[in-house]
Amino acid sequence: MKILVVVARILLGLIFFVFGLNAFVPFIHGAPPTTGFAGAFISAMIGSHFVLFVGAFQLIGGVLLLSNRFLPLGLALLAPVIANILAYHIAMQPSGLPPGIFAAVLWAFLAWKLRAYFAPLFVQKAEMS
């Protein structure tokens, strides 16, 4: 099981390291531009430079997973990114959903393995010190 955790961590880390880096230094040339709502959404992300903000979260999260340091923080940074990837593909471009599901499954597996670190987030009534 430890090998599976390492493989999942490295795969997810590589995915987000590469795509996060691509936001700053474009080296992956994707499919032709999409049209409709999906195209407008991507154009707004690029035009407003919001893609750099998302890319920073991807890059930092990927580096944390690859370096095997601060894993819960890395997963916490990647959670909203993965949620938005899934939402985008469900709502606007279902053909691209499988890679998002793959990333979500890897994330969920790693989050389950690190569940003890996330448990304090689910305290129903927190005490203030």
pLDDT digits (tens, 9 = 90+) for 53-71: 999 999 999 999 999 999 9
Instruction: Quote the Cα angle for 12-99-37, to 5°.
Output: 125
Closest CA to 21 of 46, 55, 54: 55
Q: Which residues contact 88 (CB under 8 A, 6 or more apart)?
A: 38, 41
Model confidence at 112, in pLDDT bands (50, 70, 90)?
A: very high
- Over residues 22-45, the pLDDT tens digits come to 999 999 987 777 888 999 999 999
Per-residue confidence (pLDDT) for residue 59, from 0 to 100: 99
The full set of domain ranges for the chain reads 7-25+33-114
pTM of the full predicted structure?
0.92
Per-residue confidence (pLDDT) for residue 34, from 0 to 100: 80
